[in-house]
C-alpha cells in the first residue's frame, strides 16, 4: 500500500512559454527558408518542452517506510515533527528563514509546503522542505507510517 504520492507538474503557462520558444526559434531560422523555419519551430518547442517536463517531473512519495522527495530518500525513522506551511509560511521558509544546510525540494509556483525536522544525530541536515499541493495529506501519511 502506498499512502501518498504526488507529482509536481509545471504550470500551464510554462507550456505556453515552451511554444513561444519554438516560435522564437522559427523566427530566428526564417532567413534560411521554410524548411529551417519548420525545424526551428519543432526543435525549439521540443527542447523547451523537455526542459519544462524534466523540471516539473519531481515526485513526492511515502513508500516502504521512507519519504522519497525528488532524488532524496529519507527513512521516516530519521524524521521528526512535520509542520504544514501555508503560502506565507512557505515563502518565509524558502527565503529569509531558510537554512543553507536544509534539503529543499522547492517549486516556487506551488504556494504551500511541508517542513519536516531531521532527528538523526549523524545527519547535519536540519530539516526537509518539500513544496506540495497537499501538505496536510503528506503530514498525515508520514504520521501513519511512523505509527505503523
**pLDDT tens-digit series, residues 31-41:** 999 999 999 99
At 89 the pLDDT is 96
Q: pLDDT class for 90, splitting at 50, 70, 90?
A: very high
At 1 the pLDDT is 47
**Per-residue pLDDT tens over the stretch 49-74:** 999 998 878 999 999 899 999 999 99
CA-to-CA separations, 5 to 38, 50, 58, 135, in angstroms, rounded: 39, 23, 11, 12
pTM, to two decimals: 0.83
Lowest mean pLDDT, pick from 22-26, 63-67, 126-130: 63-67
Average of per-residue pLDDT across 95-122? 94
At 3 the pLDDT is 81
Average of per-residue pLDDT across 73-89? 95
Give the angle 23-25-28 at the CA atoms, nearest 5°: 110
Rounded to whole angstroms, how far apart are CA atoms 49 and 140? 34
At 146 the pLDDT is 87
Using a pLDDT cut of 90, give the percent of the chain over it: 86
Amino acid at each position: 500500500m502506498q499512502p501518498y504520492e504526488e507529482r509536481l507538474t509545471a504550470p500551464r503557462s510554462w507550456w505556453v512559454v515552451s511554444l513561444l520558444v519554438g516560435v522564437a526559434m522559427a523566427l530566428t531560422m526564417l532567413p534560411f527558408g521554410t524548411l529551417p523555419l519548420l525545424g526551428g519551430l519543432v526543435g525549439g518547442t521540443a527542447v523547451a518542452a523537455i526542459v519544462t517536463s524534466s523540471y516539473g517531473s519531481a515526485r513526492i512519495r511515502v513508500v516502504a517506510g521512507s519519504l522519497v522527495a525528488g532524488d532524496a530518500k529519507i527513512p521516516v525513522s530519521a524524521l521528526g515533527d512535520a509542520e504544514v506551511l501555508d503560502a506565507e509560511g512557505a515563502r518565509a521558509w524558502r527565503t529569509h528563514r531558510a537554512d543553507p544546510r536544509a534539503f529543499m525540494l522547492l517549486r516556487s509556483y506551488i504556494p504551500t509546503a511541508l517542513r519536516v525536522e531531521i532527528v538523526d544525530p549523524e545527519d547535519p541536515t536540519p530539516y526537509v522542505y518539500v513544496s506540495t499541493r497537499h501538505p496536510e495529506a503528506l503530514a498525515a501519511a508520514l504520521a501513519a507510517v511512523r505509527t505503523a
